[in-house]
Structure 1
Amino acid sequence: MNMMSYLPTQDNVKSTWVSDDVKVTCIVVCYNHQDYIFDCLKGIITQKTDFAFKIVIYDDFSPDGTRSILKAFEKQYPNIIDVYYAEFNHRGVARQEEHIDKIQGEYVALCEGDDFWIDSSKLKKQYQESCKHNALFCIHPAIIFFQDNKSEDLFCYYGNTIRKLPQKLIFEFKNQFAPTASYFIKKEKYLEYIVFRRRLDGGPGDFFLEAVASDRGVIYLPDVMSVYRRGGEGTYSAMQVKSSVDSIKNDVDRWSRNLQSLLEFNPRLEKYIRSKKMLVEIDGLLRMHDKVTDNEEYMEKAIRLLKELGPLDETV
């Protein structure tokens, strides 16, 4: 049976909306996600809200079957889903911005094409709390699903109560501190990040979006409402595993340049950025040590940097 038949109709989705005035735009970026994109869009289109939302999808010229699935969703939800089909693959070539003018409403929610939401009230909860706290950035925990061994773990659990987390926490992790599929951001802040992103020298932008959006801290909801796939074909984590020593060195250098761009964009973050640079270098050294286990140079340097960095603030 056609999987689309299991989904609600467009009229069903809109039946609880008090008006067609869009409050939230859900942004999905996908590339070669034919095995995942149905779950991603299903988790969004089945959201139960009393406000209107739309879904803007950016397909980065997927050569697999992703586009046929997107066209099926477009056909079933013509007034909710808006897809931009790139004419070439942008990875490492150009910025993905052609869909930005499609964004409407007060907030933006993100879900990459290989992740998915598991709580039909996610948008409603994050919208209500963001409005209540006048928040710029709201996040929640997610399940990490490891594709290789089918195991699971919990990502971004900071307690069982709604709370405001400090911006400095974002800089105390080697990568990002919250799952992308949990991001709920004030539209103005998201657009500010898009402008800043033009300064970046490629690489993953999640951390930098967190840094830009967290000026007033981060509202944390304890509900586990999304799943982050790790290690699947086409995912960033899978590509990292295959990295060579030279590519890791290039990655660390790129991080350093991008962090310098962030410092120039917001000098107030200087202290946090200094610690982040050291964490990135330590992570790179440990990854290189894993590739060349008979050379202790990388491990010894990582240990020296860890001692220089000192203990991070454990208070949250």
Structure 2
Amino acid sequence: MIDIKEETVMENWDYSKYIEPLVAIVCLTYNHELYIRDAIESFLSQKTTFPFEIYIHDDCSTDGTVSIVQEYAEAFPGIIKPIYESENRWKEDYGASYLFHKEITKRKYQAECEGDDYWTDPHKLQRQIDYMEEHEDCSLTVTNGKRLNVLSGSISPVFEENEIEISKRNGKYDLNNFYLLKYPPTASHVYRREFLEGVEKAMSPCRASDFRNRLFLMTKGYVYYFSEETCIYRIDVKGSATSSWKNFDIPQQKDINEEYVRMLCEIDELTKRQYTDSIWKVKKEYISKKLGCGSFSDIFKTTENKKVFHEMSIYFKIRTILKIIMPNWLYVFIYLRDR
């Protein structure tokens, strides 16, 4: 366990300014026995002038995760608030964990980091909260980070250096240019809790709730991006959601891409089509992936499908048609090759 005491974590907290925790760190974990210590200790290593609390929500792990969480909860009782499930809620309902946290973590800000990821910058939380306290129209802050492949050990930036407009420059993003921001690591998310109120009524349940929440938050304010690499996002973790998606069969792949398209359509409707052009730049990517998991008739089923297919390069048209004709072996060759 980390060589630090609870009073050391709290030593710079300004109780004259904050009578209760300003931030709730939410960590959803499931069978993360190999990784959860890194996550918890990275939270406890944060240097802040404001109090925070840590909610570690174990989703009915079957390995040794629970005993590790209990160990830290006993050592840091004033900071760590464990939540233990008797059944796996994520499998039952994609939105269950968010709805549950909404009722429990009633703090001004919420920070997210799943149990197989962790933070690498002890000033991450202070930097993001300082900005949001000074800019009330900012609904979400995110940062750069690194991907760590647990199988190969390779490490790479989430935003590569050739993505100049992203990787090295702080900046604002909203629904006009969110397609440039692409997919910031969920472990970097810090948002205003009140701005996420109503998302479960406005948008459909989905597996990619981080993507959905990010879109919804952009209807309430802008996203501020910090170029500092503040977190590690582990990939190819056994049992993780994104790892399991890589093993989906073609109908399941079609379903997940349809979910993304539906989310983007819902945001377009929520914003009364003010951002249709920028939303289309992202939506067409998922329509393209969806077409490769369907049939010939899907290509001509809607105007948007036809438009996407028409705009494809010859290479991608051939690739899409081949996936339709011979989906099983080509899926293995093309899709799983990129794991």
> What TM-score comes out, normalization by structure 1 length?
0.82
Shift of residue 193, structure 1, vs aligned partner? 3.3
Residues 190 and 213 in structure 1, CA contact (< 8 A), matched pair in contact too = yes
Instruction: State the partner residue of 1:112.
Output: 114
Number of aligned residues? 289
Aligned to 2:86: 87
Q: How many Å separate the matches in 2 of 1:274 and 1:159?
A: 23
The structure 1 residue matched to 2:212, chosen from 208, 212, 227, is 208
Q: Which residue of 1 aligns with 2:337?
A: none
C-alpha deviation, 1:131, in angstroms: 1.6
Structure 1 consecutive aligned stretches of length 4 or more whose deviation exceeds 6 Å? none
1:127 aligns with 129
Gaps of 5+ in 1: 290-296, 308-316
2:104 is equivalent to residue 102 of structure 1: yes
Q: CA deviation at 1:203?
A: 1.5
d(CA) in 2 for partners of 1:84, 1:221: 31
- Aligned-pair identity in percent equals 23
- Which of 134, 143, 164 does residue 172 from structure 2 map onto? 164
Distance 1:99 1:133 in 2: 25
Give me the whole-angstrom Cα distance separating, in 1, the residues matched to 2:251 and 2:146: 32
The 8 Å contact of residues 118 and 232 in structure 2, kept in 1 or not, is answered as: yes
TM-superposed CA distance for 1:107, in Å, is 1.0
Query: What's the counterpart of residue 184 of structure 2?
Result: 178
CA distance in 2, matches of 1:209, 1:99: 14
| Structure 2 gap segments, 5+ residues each | 161-165, 300-305, 314-339
Structure 2 counterpart of 1:13, one-letter code: V
The 1:117/1:177 distance shift into structure 2, 3 A limit, reads same
CA–CA separation in structure 1 for the residues paired with 2:238 and 2:104: 29
Q: Distance in 2 between matches of 1:170 and 1:46?
A: 31
What TM-score results when the alignment is normalised by the length of structure 2? 0.77
Q: Would the alpha carbon gap of residues 160 and 257 (structure 1) be closer, same or farther in structure 2, given more than 3 Å must change?
A: closer
* Alpha carbons 2:258, 2:290 under 8 Å: kept: no
Work out the CA distance in 2 between the residues paired with 1:192 and 1:225: 29
Report the equivalent of 2:230: 225
Question: 1:237 deviation in Å?
Answer: 2.5
Cα offsets for 1:212-261 (capped at 9, x unmatched): 11233211112110000111112223112212112212222333344444
Q: Give the superposition deviation at 1:121.
A: 0.7
Contact 1:109/1:183 (8 A) holds in 2: yes
Give the match for residue 50 of structure 1: 49
The Cα of 1:9 is off from its aligned counterpart by 1.1
Query: Which is greater in Rg?
Result: 2
CA distance in 1, matches of 2:124, 2:6: 19
